[in-house]
Amino acid sequence: MPEPAKAGDRRRRNDWRFAAWGTAAFVLLLPLLAMQITHEVDWDVADFAIFGAMLVCAGGTYELAARMAGNTAYRAAVGVALAAAFILVWMNLAIGIIGPEDNPANLMYGGVLAAGIIGAVMARFQPRGMAYAMVATALAQALVGMVTLIAGTGFTGPSEPEKLLILTGFFAALWLLSAWLFRRAAQAQSPAGSL
């Protein structure tokens, strides 16, 4: 039977939760502050609602994963994967990765997220399977980049292919970092030499 959590452990965990949700609230207020300083940022109620819903979904998913897993590597892997997904969706909605945000080619990134979600469900959220799911997500990310470069779809200027390559590399690196952390979590969970 697991040992009951000590009061200090619970307090530390609550401090982290408060800090995380406080940071999310601050991030939600940043566009409002930016709107006071510059006219470049022009959000309406729907923008704030969508951004807030994204923050709540990401934070809630992380909270659920943190409660289910006591392994620090697993929690870090979930955090990296959620951050990658959050940034990918936010960039696509705000400015678009392939050309402007209304370019239909940006919908291909839904397949990247689907690869990660389907892989996670098939792995039953177990660390070893999650590592494979994140590698598959990185491959899907690279595939979208390759298809876009080959097709030349949605480029509005000469620097667009370079931007796409940098962003594809950035997101693939995040997915692979998450995979590595899940692998570490699996190694910590299983007896030595069984992986």
CA dist list (Å): 52 to 18, 80, 167, 193: 17, 19, 24, 44
- Average of pLDDT values for 128-156? 92
Residue 176 lies inside a defined structural domain of this protein? yes
Residue 148 to residue 29: CA distance in whole angstroms: 34
Based on the structure, what is the number of domains in the chain? 1
Supply the range of the domain harboring residue 158.
Answer: 72-189
* pLDDT confidence bin for 3, thresholds 50/70/90: very low
- Residue 57 belongs to some domain of the structure: no
CA distance 73 to 181: 5
Which of 79, 84, 88, 178 has the alpha carbon at shortest distance from 133? 178
Q: pLDDT digit string (tens) for 21-49?
A: 888 899 999 999 999 999 888 899 999 99
Residue 50, classified by CB atoms within 10 Å of its CB into exposed (0-12), middle (13-18) or buried (19+), is middle
pLDDT tens per residue across span 155-187:
777 778 888 999 999 999 999 999 999 999 999
Rg for the chain, CA atoms, rounded: 19
| 152 within a domain of the structure (yes/no) | yes
* Global pTM value: 0.83
Check: CB of residue 128 under 8 Å from CB of residue 182.
yes
Residue 128 lies in a domain: yes
Torsion of CA 117, 97, 102, 156, to 10 degrees: -150
Q: Tokens standing for 116?
A: 């990660």
Contacts of 124 (CB under 8 A, 6+ apart): none
Q: What is the pLDDT of residues 73-106, one digit of tens each?
A: 999 999 999 999 999 999 998 888 888 888 888 9
Q: Is residue 36 part of a domain?
A: no
- The count of other CB atoms within 10 Å of the CB of residue 160 is 17
Look at residue 71 in the predicted model and tell me its pLDDT: 85
Measured distance CA(62)–CA(56) in Å, rounded = 10
The reply to whether 5 falls in a domain is no
Give domain status of residue 53, yes or no. no
Which pLDDT does position 193 carry in this prediction? 46
